[in-house]
Protein backbone atom coordinates (compact mmCIF):
# COMPACT_ATOMS: atom_id res chain seq x y z
CA UNK A 1 0.00 0.00 0.00
CA UNK A 2 1.25 3.48 -0.86
CA UNK A 3 0.11 6.92 0.22
CA UNK A 4 1.38 10.41 -0.45
CA UNK A 5 3.56 11.76 2.40
CA UNK A 6 1.01 14.55 2.96
CA UNK A 7 -1.76 11.98 3.48
CA UNK A 8 0.44 10.07 5.89
CA UNK A 9 0.97 13.26 7.88
CA UNK A 10 -2.79 13.87 7.84
CA UNK A 11 -3.07 10.46 9.47
CA UNK A 12 -1.11 11.88 12.41
CA UNK A 13 -3.61 14.76 12.61
CA UNK A 14 -6.42 12.20 12.59
CA UNK A 15 -4.65 10.20 15.30
CA UNK A 16 -4.37 13.33 17.46
CA UNK A 17 -8.08 13.99 16.97
CA UNK A 18 -9.02 10.39 17.78
CA UNK A 19 -6.82 10.41 20.87
CA UNK A 20 -8.53 13.63 21.96
CA UNK A 21 -11.93 11.99 21.47
CA UNK A 22 -10.78 8.96 23.48
CA UNK A 23 -9.58 11.28 26.25
CA UNK A 24 -12.93 13.07 26.30
CA UNK A 25 -14.81 9.77 26.43
CA UNK A 26 -12.55 8.61 29.25
CA UNK A 27 -13.09 11.83 31.15
CA UNK A 28 -16.84 11.45 30.70
CA UNK A 29 -16.73 7.92 32.14
CA UNK A 30 -14.42 8.71 35.03
CA UNK A 31 -15.90 11.94 36.37
CA UNK A 32 -15.65 11.93 40.19
CA UNK A 33 -19.34 12.80 40.21
CA UNK A 34 -20.23 9.23 39.15
CA UNK A 35 -18.97 7.81 42.44
CA UNK A 36 -20.52 10.72 44.35
CA UNK A 37 -23.89 10.09 42.70
CA UNK A 38 -23.70 6.35 43.43
CA UNK A 39 -22.93 7.08 47.08
CA UNK A 40 -25.59 9.78 47.35
CA UNK A 41 -28.17 7.51 45.69
CA UNK A 42 -27.35 4.69 48.11
CA UNK A 43 -27.58 7.09 51.09
CA UNK A 44 -30.84 8.50 49.78
CA UNK A 45 -32.37 5.03 49.30
CA UNK A 46 -31.25 3.88 52.75
CA UNK A 47 -32.61 7.04 54.39
CA UNK A 48 -35.90 6.66 52.55
CA UNK A 49 -36.42 3.19 54.05
CA UNK A 50 -35.42 4.49 57.48
CA UNK A 51 -37.99 7.30 57.16
CA UNK A 52 -40.68 4.81 56.11
CA UNK A 53 -39.82 2.55 59.06
CA UNK A 54 -39.77 5.50 61.49
CA UNK A 55 -43.15 6.71 60.21
CA UNK A 56 -44.59 3.22 60.65
CA UNK A 57 -43.19 3.14 64.18
CA UNK A 58 -44.77 6.52 64.87
CA UNK A 59 -48.13 5.30 63.54
CA UNK A 60 -47.97 2.15 65.68
CA UNK A 61 -47.08 4.14 68.78
CA UNK A 62 -49.93 6.58 68.09
CA UNK A 63 -52.39 3.70 67.87
CA UNK A 64 -50.92 2.18 71.00
CA UNK A 65 -51.46 5.48 72.82
CA UNK A 66 -55.07 5.76 71.66
CA UNK A 67 -55.71 2.24 72.90
CA UNK A 68 -54.04 2.88 76.29
CA UNK A 69 -56.00 6.13 76.71
CA UNK A 70 -59.22 4.25 75.98
CA UNK A 71 -58.26 1.67 78.63
CA UNK A 72 -57.76 4.45 81.19
CA UNK A 73 -61.05 6.04 80.19
CA UNK A 74 -62.91 2.76 80.64
CA UNK A 75 -61.54 2.22 84.12
CA UNK A 76 -62.18 5.85 85.01
CA UNK A 77 -65.86 5.75 83.98
CA UNK A 78 -66.42 2.43 85.68
CA UNK A 79 -64.87 3.86 88.82
CA UNK A 80 -67.06 6.95 88.53
CA UNK A 81 -70.19 4.79 88.19
CA UNK A 82 -69.21 2.86 91.30
CA UNK A 83 -68.59 6.06 93.19
CA UNK A 84 -72.04 7.35 92.15
CA UNK A 85 -73.65 4.15 93.36
CA UNK A 86 -71.79 4.47 96.63
CA UNK A 87 -72.72 8.13 97.04
CA UNK A 88 -76.38 7.51 96.12
CA UNK A 89 -76.87 5.57 99.33
CA UNK A 90 -78.90 2.97 97.42
CA UNK A 91 -76.64 0.17 98.56
CA UNK A 92 -77.34 -0.69 102.10
CA UNK A 93 -76.11 -4.26 102.53
CA UNK A 94 -72.76 -4.07 104.38
CA UNK A 95 -71.40 -6.91 102.25
CA UNK A 96 -72.33 -5.14 98.98
CA UNK A 97 -70.86 -1.93 100.32
CA UNK A 98 -67.64 -3.69 101.19
CA UNK A 99 -67.46 -5.29 97.78
CA UNK A 100 -68.08 -1.98 96.07
CA UNK A 101 -65.45 -0.19 98.11
CA UNK A 102 -63.05 -2.97 97.41
CA UNK A 103 -63.73 -2.69 93.67
CA UNK A 104 -63.28 1.09 93.76
CA UNK A 105 -59.92 0.52 95.41
CA UNK A 106 -58.78 -2.00 92.78
CA UNK A 107 -59.98 0.24 90.00
CA UNK A 108 -57.97 3.15 91.38
CA UNK A 109 -54.87 0.97 91.41
CA UNK A 110 -55.64 -0.27 87.91
CA UNK A 111 -56.17 3.30 86.66
CA UNK A 112 -52.84 4.40 88.13
CA UNK A 113 -51.05 1.49 86.42
CA UNK A 114 -52.71 2.28 83.09
CA UNK A 115 -51.80 5.97 83.41
CA UNK A 116 -48.18 4.92 83.88
CA UNK A 117 -48.49 2.91 80.67
CA UNK A 118 -49.86 6.02 78.88
CA UNK A 119 -46.94 8.10 80.13
CA UNK A 120 -44.46 5.49 78.98
CA UNK A 121 -46.08 5.37 75.52
CA UNK A 122 -46.06 9.19 75.31
CA UNK A 123 -42.34 9.14 75.94
CA UNK A 124 -41.85 6.63 73.16
CA UNK A 125 -44.11 8.68 70.92
CA UNK A 126 -41.94 11.72 71.49
CA UNK A 127 -38.80 9.76 70.56
CA UNK A 128 -40.55 8.38 67.47
CA UNK A 129 -41.56 11.89 66.42
CA UNK A 130 -38.03 13.19 66.98
CA UNK A 131 -36.67 10.33 64.88
CA UNK A 132 -39.10 11.02 62.03
CA UNK A 133 -38.17 14.72 62.07
CA UNK A 134 -34.45 14.01 62.22
CA UNK A 135 -34.53 11.40 59.47
CA UNK A 136 -36.76 13.65 57.36
CA UNK A 137 -34.14 16.40 57.60
CA UNK A 138 -31.38 13.98 56.69
CA UNK A 139 -33.39 12.70 53.73
CA UNK A 140 -33.93 16.26 52.56
CA UNK A 141 -30.21 16.94 52.87
CA UNK A 142 -29.36 13.78 50.91
CA UNK A 143 -31.71 14.92 48.14
CA UNK A 144 -29.84 18.22 47.97
CA UNK A 145 -26.47 16.41 47.86
CA UNK A 146 -27.71 14.07 45.13
CA UNK A 147 -29.23 16.84 43.02
CA UNK A 148 -26.12 18.94 43.38
CA UNK A 149 -23.83 16.07 42.26
CA UNK A 150 -26.14 15.33 39.33
CA UNK A 151 -26.09 18.98 38.31
CA UNK A 152 -22.29 19.03 38.41
CA UNK A 153 -22.12 15.81 36.38
CA UNK A 154 -24.55 17.20 33.81
CA UNK A 155 -22.56 20.43 33.55
CA UNK A 156 -19.37 18.41 32.97
CA UNK A 157 -21.19 16.25 30.40
CA UNK A 158 -22.32 19.40 28.64
CA UNK A 159 -18.80 20.77 28.47
CA UNK A 160 -17.29 17.47 27.30
CA UNK A 161 -20.01 16.84 24.74
CA UNK A 162 -19.73 20.32 23.27
CA UNK A 163 -16.01 19.87 22.81
CA UNK A 164 -16.47 16.33 21.44
CA UNK A 165 -18.96 17.62 18.86
CA UNK A 166 -16.47 20.21 17.69
CA UNK A 167 -13.62 17.66 17.54
CA UNK A 168 -15.87 15.24 15.61
CA UNK A 169 -16.56 17.91 13.01
CA UNK A 170 -12.79 18.46 12.66
CA UNK A 171 -12.38 14.71 12.34
CA UNK A 172 -14.82 14.54 9.45
CA UNK A 173 -12.88 17.24 7.62
CA UNK A 174 -9.55 15.49 8.11
CA UNK A 175 -10.82 11.95 7.47
CA UNK A 176 -12.55 13.04 4.25
CA UNK A 177 -9.24 13.68 2.48
CA UNK A 178 -7.38 10.55 3.63
CA UNK A 179 -7.39 7.71 1.07
CA UNK A 180 -9.92 5.01 1.97
CA UNK A 181 -7.48 2.06 2.11
CA UNK A 182 -5.10 3.97 4.38
CA UNK A 183 -7.98 4.99 6.63
CA UNK A 184 -9.15 1.40 6.81
CA UNK A 185 -5.70 0.14 7.80
CA UNK A 186 -5.39 2.90 10.38
CA UNK A 187 -8.82 2.09 11.84
CA UNK A 188 -8.00 -1.60 12.14
CA UNK A 189 -4.62 -0.93 13.77
CA UNK A 190 -6.17 1.61 16.11
CA UNK A 191 -8.64 -1.00 17.31
CA UNK A 192 -5.91 -3.58 17.80
CA UNK A 193 -3.36 -1.27 19.38
CA UNK A 194 -5.19 0.45 22.20
CA UNK A 195 -6.41 3.44 20.23
CA UNK A 196 -3.19 4.30 18.42
CA UNK A 197 -2.96 3.21 14.78
CA UNK A 198 -0.43 5.69 13.46
CA UNK A 199 2.71 6.98 15.13
CA UNK A 200 5.43 9.41 14.21
CA UNK A 201 8.99 8.33 13.70
CA UNK A 202 10.94 10.73 15.88
CA UNK A 203 14.52 10.65 17.18
CA UNK A 204 14.95 7.05 16.02
CA UNK A 205 11.88 5.99 17.97
CA UNK A 206 8.41 4.79 17.09
CA UNK A 207 6.25 7.17 19.12
CA UNK A 208 3.60 4.45 19.32
CA UNK A 209 5.59 1.85 21.27
CA UNK A 210 8.70 3.95 22.10
CA UNK A 211 11.05 1.32 20.69
CA UNK A 212 14.35 2.73 19.46
CA UNK A 213 15.45 1.54 16.06
CA UNK A 214 18.93 0.31 15.34
CA UNK A 215 20.86 2.22 12.71
CA UNK A 216 20.41 -0.63 10.24
CA UNK A 217 16.62 -0.55 10.69
CA UNK A 218 16.66 3.20 10.37
CA UNK A 219 18.63 2.94 7.17
CA UNK A 220 16.11 0.42 5.83
CA UNK A 221 13.30 2.87 6.62
CA UNK A 222 15.26 5.65 4.93
CA UNK A 223 15.60 3.51 1.85
CA UNK A 224 11.82 3.14 1.53
CA UNK A 225 10.18 5.42 -1.05
CA UNK A 226 8.50 8.52 0.44
CA UNK A 227 5.05 7.23 -0.45
CA UNK A 228 5.55 3.75 1.01
CA UNK A 229 3.53 2.89 4.10
CA UNK A 230 6.13 1.90 6.67
CA UNK A 231 5.05 -0.19 9.65
CA UNK A 232 6.85 -0.41 12.98
CA UNK A 233 8.55 -3.81 13.27
CA UNK A 234 7.81 -3.88 16.96
CA UNK A 235 4.15 -2.78 17.28
CA UNK A 236 2.91 -2.95 13.70
CA UNK A 237 1.57 0.61 13.72
CA UNK A 238 1.85 2.84 10.68
CA UNK A 239 5.13 4.67 11.10
CA UNK A 240 4.84 8.18 9.69
CA UNK A 241 7.95 10.00 8.57
CA UNK A 242 7.86 13.78 8.96
CA UNK A 243 10.40 16.53 8.37
CA UNK A 244 11.56 16.08 11.98
CA UNK A 245 12.04 12.33 11.66
CA UNK A 246 15.61 12.66 10.52
CA UNK A 247 15.27 10.15 7.70
ZN1 LIG B 1 6.07 0.83 17.34
Give the distance (Å) from ligand 1 centre to CA of residue 99.
Answer: 109
Distance 207 CA to ligand 1 centre (A): 7
The 10s digit of each residue's pLDDT in 181-198 is 999 999 999 999 999 999
The alpha carbon torsion through 169, 173, 174, 178 (nearest 10 deg) reads: 140
Q: What is the mean pLDDT of residues 204-227?
A: 94
Kindly report, residue by residue over 156-184, the tens digit of the pLDDT: 999 999 999 999 999 999 999 999 999 99
List phi, psi (to 5°) of 244. -90, 0
Number of helices (H) and strands (E), helices first, in the chain?
A: 5, 4
pLDDT at 244: 84
- CA 199 to centroid of ligand 1, rounded, Å: 7
**CB-CB contact of 228 with 236 (8 Å):** no
Distance 15 CA to ligand 1 centre (A): 14
Do the Cβ atoms of 221 and 239 come closer than 8 Å? yes
- What does pTM read for this prediction? 0.79
CA of 12 to the centre of ligand 1 (A): 14
Report pLDDT digits (tens) over 6-25: 999 999 999 999 999 999 99
- Residue 125 confidence class, pLDDT cut points 50, 70, 90: very high
Average pLDDT of the residues of the chain: 96
pLDDT score for 62:
98
3 state SS of 228: strand
Using alpha carbons, select from 122, 135, 146, 130 the residue that is nearest to residue 41: 146
Whole-number pLDDT of residue 127: 98
- Residue range 58-67: mean pLDDT, rounded: 98
Given pLDDT bands bounded at 50, 70 and 90, which one contains residue 116? very high
Ligand 1 centroid distance, CA of 226 (Å): 19
Say if residues 9 and 198 touch (Cβ distance below 8 Å). Answer: no
Q: How is the beta sheet containing 205-206 ordered, strand by strand?
A: 205-206, 198-202, 238-241, 230-231
Q: Is the pLDDT of residue 145 over 90?
A: yes
If DSSP codes are grouped into helix, strand and coil, which group holds residue 237? Answer: coil
**Ligand 1: distance of its center to the CA of 220 in Å?**
15
User: What is the pLDDT averaged over residues 32-45?
Assistant: 97
Q: Please give the distance, rounded to the nearest whole angstrom, from the Cα atom of residue 22 to the centre of ligand 1.
A: 20
Amino acid sequence: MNAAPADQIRLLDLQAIDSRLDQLAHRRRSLPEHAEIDQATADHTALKSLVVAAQAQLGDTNRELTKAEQDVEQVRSRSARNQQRLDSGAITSPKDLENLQHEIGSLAKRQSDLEDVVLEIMERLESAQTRVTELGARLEHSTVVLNEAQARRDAAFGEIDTEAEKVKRDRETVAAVIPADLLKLYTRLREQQGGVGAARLYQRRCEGCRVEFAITDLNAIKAEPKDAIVRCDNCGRILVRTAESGV
